[in-house]
């Protein structure tokens, strides 16, 4: 059977939304992509799914990580989206479904697991990581030795695109830092103890729209996610 990928609806422009589906379809052409959102949810959203991609989008409500004082630094929150995606994040983790979080997906997953965010990077003393009128910024990242990210990317550093003003502050329960930007912003998280768990990776950059589709910090991510989908699909077929 072909694998089924659950993709949370980024609820943004058509172009940005299409970036995710085109990226997944390019590297996993036999997959069915199921778009999930609170506005179209029926029954069990993850039923029959072999993997979950949690996409980017608007800021996570700072009240979810105890920073009600930071509301003015954030975009208008979408509580329905936060609640829906928090539920399926927990469900995917409980059901051992291969998992990839991107930008907001990284931030919300971290909050779901008890972590916190930097509500706005520049007032916190970091350089801007936001996109510009010309498009995404580009900056360096340094990958931590001994991490899953290092093993799949095969590099210790690289350059990624950047379009965010928030970031992980304190990693959630069970997570460890896999990469930081050259100015110290947390750029990737993964399980601290991954033994016995399926693929799980959270990245702050946007691999679905990096200009170089063969870049080691996009191609290797999706290929390893694809392999995890196949393993999960095969396992489900034999249950």
Query: Is the pLDDT higher at 238 or at 236?
Result: 236
Domain that holds residue 223: 4-237
Instruction: Flag whether pLDDT at 149 surpasses 90.
Output: yes
Going by the DSSP 8-state scheme, the letter that residue 198 receives in this structure is -
Give the list of residues 6+ apart from residue 12 with CB closer than 8 angstroms, or none.
56, 57
Task: For 150-160, write each residue's pLDDT tens digit.
Answer: 999 999 999 99
Nearest C-alpha neighbor of 174 from the set 155, 200, 205: 200
In this prediction the pTM is 0.95
Instruction: Flag whether pLDDT at 239 surpasses 50.
Output: no
Give the list of residues 6+ apart from residue 18 with CB closer than 8 angstroms, or none.
none
Going by the DSSP 8-state scheme, the letter that residue 219 receives in this structure is H
Beta strands in 136-212 (DSSP E): 137-143, 157-162, 167-170, 175-181, 186-191, 200-203
Going by the DSSP 8-state scheme, the letter that residue 62 receives in this structure is G
**Strand, helix or coil for residue 181:** strand
**In the prediction, which pLDDT does 236 show?**
57
Both tokens assigned to 45 = 């959203």
- Among 49, 74, 103, 190, the one annotated catalytic: 103
Task: For 183-237, write each residue's pLDDT tens digit.
Answer: 999 999 999 999 999 999 999 999 999 999 999 999 999 999 999 999 987 765 4
Is residue 14 among the annotated active site residues? Answer: no
Instruction: Flag whether pLDDT at 238 surpasses 50.
Output: no
- Among 129, 165, 206, 232, the one annotated catalytic: 206
Determine phi and psi for 97, rounding to 5 degrees: -95, 130
**In the prediction, which pLDDT does 235 show?**
65
Going by the DSSP 8-state scheme, the letter that residue 215 receives in this structure is -
Distance CA 225, CA 230 (A): 9
Q: How far is the CA of 49 from the CAs of 74, 117, 160, 209, 232, in angstroms?
A: 32, 29, 29, 24, 9
Grade residue 99 by pLDDT with cuts at 50, 70 and 90: very high
Nearest C-alpha neighbor of 37 from the set 4, 78, 9: 9
Is residue 74 among the annotated active site residues? Answer: no
- Among 85, 208, 224, 232, the one annotated catalytic: 208
Instruction: Flag whether pLDDT at 127 surpasses 90.
Output: no
Give the list of residues 6+ apart from residue 133 with CB closer than 8 angstroms, or none.
none
**In the prediction, which pLDDT does 42 show?**
75
**Strand, helix or coil for residue 42:** coil
| CATH code where residue 50 lies | 3.40.50.880
Is residue 208 among the annotated active site residues? Answer: yes
When computed from its CA atoms, the radius of gyration of the chain, rounded to whole angstroms, is 17
Number of domains making up the chain: 1
**In the prediction, which pLDDT does 13 show?**
81
Task: For 2-59, write each residue's pLDDT tens digit.
Answer: 999 999 999 988 888 999 999 999 999 999 999 999 988 778 999 999 999 999 999 9
**In the prediction, which pLDDT does 106 show?**
98
């Amino acid at each position: 059977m072909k694998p089924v990928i659950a993709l949370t609806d980024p609820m943004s422009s058509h172009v940005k939304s299409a970036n995710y589906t085109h990226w997944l379809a390019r590297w996993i052409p036999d997959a069915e992509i199921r778009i999930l959102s609170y506005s179209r949810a029926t029954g069990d959203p993850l039923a029959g799914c072999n993997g979950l991609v949690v996409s980017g989008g608007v800021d996570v409500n700072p009240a979810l990580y105890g920073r009600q004082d930071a509301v003015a630094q954030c975009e208008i929150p979408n509580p329905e989206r936060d609640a829906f995606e928090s539920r399926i994040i927990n469900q995917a983790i409980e059901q051992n479904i291969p998992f990839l979080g991107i930008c907001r997906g990284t931030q919300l997953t971290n909050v779901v697991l008890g972590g916190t965010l930097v509500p706005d990077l520049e007032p916190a003393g970091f350089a801007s990581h936001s996109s510009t009128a010309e498009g995404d910024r580009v900056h360096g990242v340094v990958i931590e030795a001994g991490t899953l990210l290092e093993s799949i990317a095969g590099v210790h550093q690289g350059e990624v695109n950047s379009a965010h003003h928030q970031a992980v502050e304190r990693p959630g329960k069970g997570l460890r830092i896999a990469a930081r930007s050259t100015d110290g912003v947390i750029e990737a998280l993964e399980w601290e103890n991954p033994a016995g768990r399926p693929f799980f990776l959270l990245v702050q950059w946007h691999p679905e729209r990096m200009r170089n589709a063969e870049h080691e910090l996009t191609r290797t991510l999706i290929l390893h996610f694809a392999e995890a989908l196949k393993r999960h699909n095969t396992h489900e077929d034999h249950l």
